[in-house]
């Protein structure tokens, strides 16, 4: 089968197409023919070597974590799936490699795709959705009386964060570009801030939660718009950020929480249930064919502007 591989840590230039034997599933694994996958910043953070403490250092490695597709084979101890099932899920950080014609998926990180959503929509949910649930529910303890700021509200993570916050009954302010304003309103954002014209840091209102999905804010520059018991949620995790958060949280009522989106079957199932009920309707952004996956990574990593999730489709 064909898969995108890399033999050392580095930028987009280390990735290339390779032909590898079709893998056989282990006892608790399934072989899935990929129909759609999606791109996440964690993909290139792993490839760049930023997450070496969370992955093994065996090469070559594959890239990509999200997947949706059809079960082609099951391990002998698999009880939840049969050949032909339509599924979606996450690969672990250690076993990244969904940008491929087939993936070996862990039964514990895979669930059946709801009938009412497309493969592309399903593939857009796992990593971005787990990150949003972890941030807003687990770390932010979101509730209906909260005032929430989503920075980057129409991106892959931001759009799902908006919908999760609105489902919780929160009042949502979101930042986005001029061309994304109408999409933000369609998502249900109560106050839309065009970051090309207005500075959210100059707003007079204060927030219970600030979720920086775009990665261009910091706790220090947001303190003035954070309530006294407010929480700043960040996806840009570094050792220095973790240390600063630990130190700050000992002495300040305003907290910093770094979000590590740990793959979770419970959260993947919840995302599927919410999508099947129409409570999550992910925006699909630019789509690439699988043969153009390297171009997709190059464009996204070079700052290609996109509303919604960037998807890679394996033609059937």
Q: What does the pLDDT look like over 9-18, one tens digit per residue?
A: 999 999 999 9
Residue with tokens 């996440």: 40
- What tokens were used for 74? 């099951």
pLDDT band at 57; cut points 50, 70, 90: confident
- What is the arithmetic mean of pLDDT over 84-95? 97
List of residues 6+ apart from 150 with CB closer than 8 A: 158, 161, 162, 165, 172, 173, 174, 175, 189, 211, 213
The CATH number of the domain holding residue 155 is 3.40.50.720
Q: What does the pLDDT look like over 241-299, one tens digit per residue?
A: 766 767 787 888 899 999 988 899 999 999 999 999 999 999 999 999 999 999 999 99
> pLDDT at position 53, please?
84
> Both 82 and 109 in a single domain?
yes
The reply to whether 134 falls in a domain is: no
> Both 14 and 74 in a single domain?
yes
- CB-count burial class (<10 Å; 0-12, 13-18, 19+) for 256: buried
3-state SS, residue 246: helix
Number of neighbours of residue 82 by Cβ within 10 angstroms: 10
Q: How far is CA 131 from CA 39, 212, 262, in A?
A: 14, 12, 8
List of residues 6+ apart from 189 with CB closer than 8 A: 150, 153, 162, 172, 173, 174
Element housing 261 (H / E): none
pLDDT at residue 171 greater than cutoff 60: yes
- Residue range of the domain that includes 202: 140-258
126-133 and 156-167 helices cross at what angle (nearest 10)? 50
> Both 236 and 178 in a single domain?
yes
**pTM of the predicted structure, to 2 decimals:** 0.95
> pLDDT at position 104, please?
98
> Both 273 and 253 in a single domain?
no
List of residues 6+ apart from 195 with CB closer than 8 A: 175, 176, 177
pLDDT at residue 87 greater than cutoff 60: yes
């Amino acid at each position: 089968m064909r898969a995108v591989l890399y033999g050392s840590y580095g930028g987009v230039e280390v990735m290339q197409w390779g032909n590898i034997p079709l893998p056989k599933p282990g006892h608790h694994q399934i072989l899935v023919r990929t129909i759609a996958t999606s791109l996440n910043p964690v993909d290139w953070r792993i490839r760049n070597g930023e997450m070496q403490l969370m992955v093994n250092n065996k090469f070559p490695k594959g890239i990509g974590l999200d997947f949706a597709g059809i079960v082609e084979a099951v391990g002998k101890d698999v009880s939840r799936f049969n050949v032909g099932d339509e599924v979606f899920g996450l690969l672990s950080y250690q076993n990244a490699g969904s940008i491929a014609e087939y993936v070996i998926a862990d039964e514990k990180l895979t669930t059946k795709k709801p009938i009412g959503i497309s493969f592309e929509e399903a593939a857009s949910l796992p990593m971005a959705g787990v990150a949003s649930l972890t941030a807003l529910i687990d770390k932010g303890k979101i509730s209906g009386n909260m005032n929430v700021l989503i920075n980057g509200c129409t991106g892959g993570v931001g759009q799902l964060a908006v919908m999760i916050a609105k489902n919780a009954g929160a009042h949502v302010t979101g930042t986005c570009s001029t061309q994304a304003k109408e999409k933000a309103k369609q998502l249900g954002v109560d106050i839309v801030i065009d970051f090309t014209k207005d500075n959210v840091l100059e707003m007079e209102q204060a927030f219970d939660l600030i979720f920086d999905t775009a990665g261009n804010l910091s706790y220090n520059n947001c303190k003035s718009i954070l309530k006294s018991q407010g929480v700043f949620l960040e996806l840009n995790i570094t050792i220095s950020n973790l240390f600063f958060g630990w130190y700050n949280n000992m002495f300040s009522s305003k907290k910093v929480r770094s979000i590590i989106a740990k793959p979770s079957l419970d959260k993947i199932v919840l995302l599927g249930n919410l999508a099947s009920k129409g409570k999550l309707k992910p925006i699909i952004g630019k789509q690439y064919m699988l043969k153009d996956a390297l171009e997709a990574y190059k464009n996204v990593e070079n700052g290609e502007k996109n509303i919604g999730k960037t998807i890679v489709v394996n033609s059937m």
